[in-house]
A and B are shown apart, each in its own frame.
Chain A
Amino acid sequence: MKKSTQVALILLITSLIAFNLFGVQRFPRPEFENGYQQPETILNAPRALFFEYFDLAVLIGSLSLITWLILKKRSRKAVFWVMIFSLLYFGFYRKGCICPVGSLQNVTLALFNPEYSLPINGIAFFIIPLVFTLFFGRTFCAGVCPLGAIQDVFALRPVSLKSWVQSLLGLIPFIYLGLAVLFAATASDFIVCRYDPFVGFFRHNASFMMFAIGGILLFISVFIARPYCRFLCPYGVLLNLVSRFSKKHLTIAPSACISCRLCENSCPFGAIDKPTGAKFKQPSNVLVKKLILYCLIIPFLMAVCGWTASKYYESFAKVNFKVKLATEIMQSKNSESEVIPLEITAFRSSGNSEEVLFEEAKVILNRFYLGNWFLGGFIGLVFGLTLARLTIIPYKTDYTTNKGTCFSCARCVDYCPVKE
C-alpha cells in the first residue's frame, strides 16, 4: 500500500470515529413555574403509502437491473455503479430503513406474535431478495444492499484470508441469526437493527459505541473485504443457504473452464472453489461411515447445546424490557435504598398493575426457556453440519464460484480469459 493511501486511511478512520459527536445527549426540557404548558411531542408521520410502494419498485428495479448486468452483461463496472446508486438511495436517502437484513426480525416477530401486524413492505423486502437469490444467486448482496455497498467502496486493498479462518468466522452469522430470531420472537429486541454498525453513518446519528464499531468495520473493510457481510450478517445466512439452489448463478467462465488458474486469487471474499481433483475422491463406504457417524454426533450435539443454552434463559430474558422492569421492581422492594429508579416511577405512574407485569414476565421467561433450547439446538446443528461438510469433500474439476458465499460481485469475471 502506498504511504499516502495509508495516511489517508488512518485519517479516514479517525474522522469516522468522530461521528459520535452527533450522538450527544438530548437537551432537557426547561422547567416553567408559571403554568406554561409544554407542547405535545410531535411524532413523524409514517411514510406515505405511495413512497413505500416506490421503495419496493426501486428494490425490484435495481435487483432486476443488477441481475441482468451480472448474468448477461458480466460487467463489474456496471455492478459498481448500481451499488453506488443503492448506497445513496437505500443508504443515505432512505437512511438504511427499511432493509431486508432487519426485516427478518419483523417477519419473525409477526410469526410468533399474531397481534403484531407486519406491513406488506416488510414481507416484500424480506422475501424479494430471497426469491432473486433462489434463481440467480446473491445479486442482492452484489450491489443492492446498502450495508454491503458501504463496505465494498472501502474494499481498496483486500487481502485473502486463510480458508480455515474464513470457515471459523463464517460460523458467527449463524449464531447471530439464532439470537436475532430468539429476541425478535420473544418481542424483546431487534438486535440486528440495534447493532447495525453502518446505519449511524446513513442517519448521522448513533451512539459513540456504534460509530466506533462502524468505523472499525469500515477500516477493516479496506483489507478484509466486506467483513460484516461475511462474518456477521444474519440475513446473509439465509441468502447463503438459498443461493446454493440457484440454477442461474454467475459463473467465472462464460463457458467451459480451462483451468488456467488466472482467477484463483481474484476473489476478495475467498468464494472461489478450486478443483479438488481425483485424489480427494473418497470411496463410497468411507462416505457412508462418515455419514452414519455424523447422524449420531449431530443429534447429540444439538441436545447438549440445547440443554446448555436452556440454562442461560434468564440471562437472555433480561434483555426483554418487561422482564427487566419486573426484576428491577422486585429488587427495589427488597432493597433498603430509598431511591426508586426512574423506570419504576414511570411504570407506577402509568397506573398499570405490577401483578400483570409479573405474570407477563413469567410468560416471557417461559418463552425464553423454550427459545434457548431451540437456539442451543440450532447452534449444535450448525457446528455438526460444518464438521460434516469439512469431512466430506465434494469432487470438483473446475474453478467455480461457491454458490453459498459468492456475492456475485463479478470481480473474477474480468480475470477469466474465456470471454465467449
Chain B
Amino acid sequence: MFKKFDLKNFGTDQLWNRIALVSGIFALLVCVLLIGNYIQVKKADPINMKVINSLVERLHKDPSDVKLREEIRTLDLLSRKAYFTSKWQIRTGGYFVLAAIALMVISLQIISYRKTIVPQLSPENDDNTMAYRNKTRVFIVTGGSLILATALIFAILATNELKEKFAVQEINEETPIENNSDLITQAADSLVLEIIDTTGTSNITIKHTVASAFTNNDSVNEKSAASSKDNFPTFRGPGGNGIAKQKNIPISWDGSTGDNIRWKTAIPLPGYNSPIIWGNKIFVTGANTAKREVYCINRNTGAMIWTVVVENIPNSPGQAPKVIAETGHAAPTAATDGIGVYAIFSNGDIIGLDMDGKKLWAENLGVPGNHYGHSSSLMIFKDLVIVQYDQKTSPKLMALSTKTGKTVWSTNRDVKISWASPVIVNTGKRTEIILAAEPFVASYNPADGKELWKIDCISGEVGPSVAYANGMVFSVNDYSKLAAIKIGADQPTVLWENTDYLSDIPSPVATDKYLILSTSYGLTVCYDAVTGEKYWEKEFGNNVYASPIIAEGKVYLMDKTGIMHIFKADKEYVSLGEPKLGEPSVCTPAFTNGFIYLRGDKNLYSIGK
C-alpha cells in the first residue's frame, strides 16, 4: 500500500535548492529585524529614562504629589514592559533563525546525500611526499625560530616583579608597624660583662648588662628582619591575634632531661608576661612589690644582654597596688617595634626603652583601679603604643607615641574593668583595634581612636582577648557567653553563640575554619568558626592560663603544670605531642623559625636545634 520511503525519491534537487534558498532568505530577513531590535534594546535604558528622571526630580521637590507618583510608576512599568517585550522578540526571532538555518542545512544535506560518488583522480600520481615534508620542515623551522626569537627578546626584556610586590603588600597588610626598613638589631654575642651605668642626666637608674664588645651598633648591626611578621613583637604574636607565621616549630622537648632545650636562663623577678622577640633579642619583664625590671636576652645564647630597673618614674606611687598572686605586678606583656621596647606594670608605670636599654621616655598613667591587678598587654600600631586602661574610674583606650610617650589620642570607654588585651587586625578594609569588656565588644580606628562599631554581647570580668579570622570576631567570658560576631557590614551581627564552654583567662584563637577555645580548667573545644558546630572537646586534666597560639596549622597550648599540648587545628582532635617543660607555666609561647620560647615560673627557655 505504501511505497518504501527513500530519501532519493523525496522531492527533486531543484525543490530542495529552492527550499534552501527560501529558508536562507527568511533567516537573513529575521536577522536584520533582530539586529534592529537589538540596537534598540541596547540603546534603551529603562531605568534611566530622561522623562522619568525629570519627573522623579519633581517628585523630590514635592513628595506629597500622589498623582505624580502614580504617573511615574505607570511610566516606569511601561518602559520595563517595552524592554522585556523586545527581549522576548529577540529570543523568539532567534528560534526562527535557528529553524530556518536547520531547514537550509537539511535541504543542502539531502542534495549531497543522494549525489552519486564520483571519485576524482589526480591527473598523475604525483608523489610529492618528500616535497611536502621539506616544505613543512622549512616552515616550522623558520616560523618557529621567528616566533621563538621574538619571544626570547621579550622574555629577556620582561620584568617579573609581582611576586616581590605582593610580598611587600603582604607585609604592609600584616604588620601594623611602619618604618621597619631602617630598624636594626644588635648582633649576638656571648661575651657578657656587667656594668652599672648611672646616667647623669636622667633621674632613672638603669642597670645595663651589656654585650660590651658591641657598644658601637653601626659596626656590628645586621639588618633586622624586615617586619613584625618575621618577629614576635607582642603578646600572642603580631597584632595579638594568636597566629604565628613562623615555621618548623619543634613539637618535642623535655625540660627535665634537657632534650631539645637550646638554653635556659633564669629571670630574676617573677612575671606572668610572655616573651616577645625582635631580631636576636628577647624581652620579658619582672616585678614584685618593690622592683620592676625589663630584661633583654640574647635569642641565640640565652645570655642576659641588659636589665633595666624601672625606677624614679615621675608620679609613680610610692607603694605598689594590691594585686592577687595570680596576676602579680608584671602581668602585661611588653611590646616592641624594633626601634624600642615598651613595658607597663601593675602600678601604672610605663616605659619606652631603645633596643640597647636606653630610656626613651617613662611616665605613670595613674595607678589602675583594678582589684586583681592590671594585666592587659601593650600593642603597637605604627608609631603608637596602644594601652587598654579599662580601670575602675574613667576606663579608656590610649595611644602613646613610641618616640615620646605622649598621649596621641585617648578614647573613653563606658565599660567595667577588664583584663583583656587589644587585638589589632586588618580586616581587608581597614585596620581595627578590637577590645572586649562588659558590656560590649568594640572596635576602634588605631589612627585616631574613634569607635568604629560596638556590639553588646559580653559581661562579667572579662579576661580573654578576642580572636579574629575571616571577617569574624570571637569573644568569650566566663558566666557570659561565646559570641561569633560577623563584621564588615556597617553593623556587626552575632552569627552564633554558645554558653557550653567559657573561658575566664585563656583567649580563643581562630582560623577561617576553626575556633579553638580553652577554658581555664583545662577543657579545650574546637568549633566550626562559621556555623558554631562543635567538632570536638578534650579534657587535659590540668588548669590552663596561657593562651593557645596557632603556628603551621598546629595549636600550642601550655597548661599550668608546664605541659605543652600540641594538636592539629582540625575537625578531629589529633595530638602531635605533649612535651614537658619541667616547671609550671602560665605564659603564652613565642616563636622564631625553628624555635619556641617558653617562660616558666623561674626560667626562660629556648627550644629547638
Contact = CB atoms under 8 A, between A and B. Distances in A.
B169 to A, nearest CB: 5
Interface stretch (A187-195, A226-234, A345-353): A345-353
A327 B160 contact: no
A319 interface: no
Nearest to B167: A362
Interface residues of A, number: 85
A21 B130 contact: no
B328 to A, nearest CB: 35
B117 interface: yes
9 contacts: A5-B17, A11-B25, A12-B24, A14-B28, A15-B101, A351-B487, A353-B173, A355-B426, A358-B170
A7 interface: yes
Nearest to B41: A24
Contacts of B37: 21
Nearest to B174: A355
Interface stretch (B132-140, B192-200, B452-460): B132-140
Contacts of A162: 132
Contacts of B128: 163
B439 interface: no
A12 B109 CA distance: 14
Interface in A301-333: 304-305, 307-309, 311-314, 317, 323, 326-327, 329-330, 333
Interface string B119-156: 11110010111101101110111011000100110111
Interface residues of B, number: 87
A308 B470 contact: no
A168 B137 contact: no
Interface of B: 17-18, 20-21, 23-25, 27-28, 30-31, 34-35, 37-38, 41-42, 46-47, 83-84, 87, 90-91, 93-95, 97-98, 100-101, 104-105, 108-109, 112-113, 117, 119-122, 125, 127-130, 132-133, 135-137, 139-141, 143-144, 148, 151-152, 154-156, 158, 160-163, 165-167, 169-170, 173-174, 426-429, 470-472, 486-489, 512
Given A12-B104, A326-B166, A358-B166, 19 more contacts: A5-B20, A7-B21, A11-B24, A12-B105, A18-B35, A24-B87, A262-B119, A265-B122, A276-B129, A308-B148, A311-B155, A311-B160, A313-B160, A314-B162, A348-B428, A351-B471, A358-B173, A359-B170, A362-B163
Contacts of B105: 12, 153-154
A164 interface: yes
A1 to B, nearest CB: 11
A2 interface: yes
A391 B127 contact: no
A94 interface: no
Given A153-B105, A156-B112, A348-B428, A11 B471 contact: no
B137 A390 contact: yes
B86 to A, nearest CB: 9
Interface residue SS majority, chain A = helix
Interface of A: 2, 4-5, 7-9, 11-12, 14-22, 24, 27-28, 30, 77, 80, 153-154, 156, 162-164, 167-168, 171, 201, 204, 261-266, 274, 276-277, 280, 304-305, 307-309, 311-314, 317, 323, 326-327, 329-330, 333, 347-359, 361-362, 365-366, 383, 386-387, 390-391, 393, 414-415
B515 to A, nearest CB: 16
A164 B162 contact: no
A8 B117 contact: no
Contact of A21 (B21, B34, B129, B167): B34
Contact of B163 (A8, A304, A366): A366
Contact of B129 (A280, A326, A354): A280
